[in-house]
């Protein structure tokens, strides 16, 4: 008796290739945020560390959302390698500025992917990408605010820690609308 395995369609469109590339981008961002969180944690800045541990987890989940969408769409998925992350920093501002730049880069990638999905006439893919667009606007806004607060604190990291304690930045109201994460319960 031979077992039958579900047939998976090979990647054939620009959209499918960009989706897989975005999986790698999201995992790469997750790893960079983990490195940032560890840097803050080692310097006894628990709120900043927690903020970036949470961001790392969210980025990993975003990658798995794309994986789940590809599997649901019967598209072959290959998990790409993650580039090396930066671990050497001298001051907290460098880390938050890097995070802002990273989110702006991811926003540009998501916008380009959404544009390609639209050009390919993939209406289901376009609907899927809308959540990511909203998520990116939120992420850039939150990290830009954190960078502004860090600048205004003028080196007093206790003020930044206090800000993170008082404000609820990093948790998104958009999460209730988030697509399914691969490996999550169904």
Of residues 5 and 48, more confidence is placed in 48
Tell me the pLDDT band of 176, cut-offs 50, 70 and 90: low
- The predicted model scores a pTM of 0.88
DSSP state of 17: H
Burial class of residue 18, CB neighbours in 10 A (0-12, 13-18, 19+): buried
Q: Mean pLDDT for the chain?
A: 89
| CA-angle at 90, arms to 87 and 93, nearest 5° | 95
Q: What is the DSSP string of 20-63?
A: HHHHHHHHHHHHHHHHHHHHHHHTT-HHHHHHHHHHHHHHHHHH
Local structure of 176: helix, strand or coil:
helix
Query: CA-to-CA distance for 133 and 62, rounded, in angstroms?
Result: 12
* Spatial CA neighbour of 66 closest among 186, 178, 185: 178
Query: Per-residue pLDDT tens for 87-117?
Result: 999 999 999 999 999 999 999 999 999 999 9
Query: Per-residue pLDDT tens for 48-95?
Result: 999 999 999 999 999 999 999 999 988 888 899 999 999 999 999 999
Of residues 169 and 18, more confidence is placed in 18
HEC secondary structure over 130-143: HHHHHHHHHHHHHH
Task: Tell whether the model's pLDDT for residue 174 goes beyond 60.
Answer: no
Task: Tell whether the model's pLDDT for residue 159 goes beyond 80.
Answer: yes
């Amino acid at each position: 008796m031979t077992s039958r395995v579900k047939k998976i369609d090979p990647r054939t469109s620009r959209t499918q290739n960009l989706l897989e590339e975005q999986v790698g981008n999201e995992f790469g961002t997750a790893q960079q945020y983990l490195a940032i969180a560890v840097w803050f944690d080692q310097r006894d800045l628990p709120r900043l560390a927690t903020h970036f541990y949470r961001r790392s987890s969210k980025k990993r989940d975003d990658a798995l959302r794309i994986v789940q969408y590809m599997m649901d769409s019967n598209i072959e998925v290959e998990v790409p390698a993650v580039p090396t992350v930066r671990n050497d920093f001298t001051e907290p501002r460098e880390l938050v500025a890097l995070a802002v730049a990273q989110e702006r880069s991811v926003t540009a990638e998501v916008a380009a992917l959404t544009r390609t999905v639209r050009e390919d006439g993939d209406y289901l893919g376009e609907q899927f990408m809308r959540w990511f667009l909203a998520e990116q606007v939120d992420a850039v806004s939150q990290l830009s605010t954190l960078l502004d607060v860090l600048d205004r604190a003028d080196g007093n990291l206790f003020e930044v820690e206090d800000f993170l304690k008082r404000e609820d930045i990093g948790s998104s109201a958009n999460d209730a609308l988030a697509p399914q994460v691969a490996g999550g319960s169904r």
